Chains A and B, each alone.
Chain A
Amino acid sequence: EAQVTQNPRYLITVTGKKLTVTCSQNMNHEYMSWYRQDPGLGLRQIYYSMNVEVTDKGDVPEGYKVSRKEKRNFPLILESPSPNQTSLYFCASSFAGGPGTGELFFGEGSRLTVL
C-alpha cells in the first residue's frame, strides 16, 4: 500500500531533550516536506526537499533540522526542543516537481508535546 509513515505518532518529552521524528515513503517520490499544524495558524511548512541531498527552509525552520540521505526517508530533528514546538507535525511527499506539478501525500501526523 502506498503510504507515508511517521514515527512516533505521539510523544511527550521535556525541554532540551533531542528527538527525531522519522518519515518514510514507499512511492519513490522525489519531493518531501514537513509541516506543523497549530490551532488558528493552519499548516506551516518547516523544511522541504526536492531530492536526495537537497533541502530548503520553509516558513518556520527555526529550531529544526532535516536531512535527506536516502530518497525514501526525511527525518525531522529537534536538537533542543522547547514548549513552543508543541504541535502536530505532518510529513508529506510528492512526485518530481513537488506541489507545483501534483498533489501531496500526507502521513497520519505526529503529535508532539514538549514540557
Chain B
Amino acid sequence: SQQGEEDPQALSIQEGENATMNCSYKTSINNLQWYRQNSGRGLVHLILIRSNEREKHSGRLRVTLDTSKKSSSLLITASRAADTASYFCATVFYGNNRLAFGKGNQVVVIP
C-alpha cells in the first residue's frame, strides 16, 4: 500500500535549535497526521492536517501541507532534550479509511 515517506531518516541537533522533517506521499489524501514515539513506547498523536489546510500550529510544532507537491513538513522550534524521539507521518487516502505510516524520522536532541 502507499505510505508516507519521511526525509531525513535521522537527525541530530543541539538543544534550542529547530528540527525540520519532511514527508512525501503518492496519491490524494484525506488528511495527514504526525505522531511521536519515544523509544519502545506507544505512538502519541501530535497534529492532524486536512487536505484543505495548508498550515497548523500546536505549541512549538508547525506542520505544513503542500498537496500540489504531495508533501508535508513538521517543524519543532526551540528543541528540548525531551523531544528526542522518532517522528512518523501517516496518511489517510481518499476512499480508504486506513492510516498508513511512513518509516519514521529519528531525532536526537543533544543537551
State the A residues within 8 Å of B (CB). Answer: 4, 33, 35, 40-45, 48, 50, 58-59, 88, 90, 92, 97-100, 102-109, 111
Are B103 and A98 closer than 8 Å at their CB atoms?
Answer: no
Tally the A-B contacts, defined by beta carbons under 8 Å.
63
Are A104 and B45 closer than 8 Å at their CB atoms?
Answer: yes
**Interface residues of B, dominant DSSP:** strand
Task: Name B1-32 residues within 8 Å CB distance of A.
Answer: 1, 3, 30-31
B85 at the interface (CB under 8 A from A): no
Using a Cβ–Cβ cut-off of 8 Å, how many residues does chain B contribute to the interface with A? 24
User: Which residues of the partner chain A approach B104 to less than 8 Å between Cβ atoms?
Assistant: 42
Identify 20 residue pairs between A and B in the complex whose beta-carbon atoms are under 8 Å apart, listed by A's number.
Answer: A33-B99, A42-B3, A42-B101, A43-B43, A44-B101, A45-B100, A48-B98, A59-B100, A90-B43, A92-B43, A99-B90, A99-B92, A99-B99, A100-B30, A100-B92, A100-B97, A102-B48, A103-B45, A106-B43, A106-B44
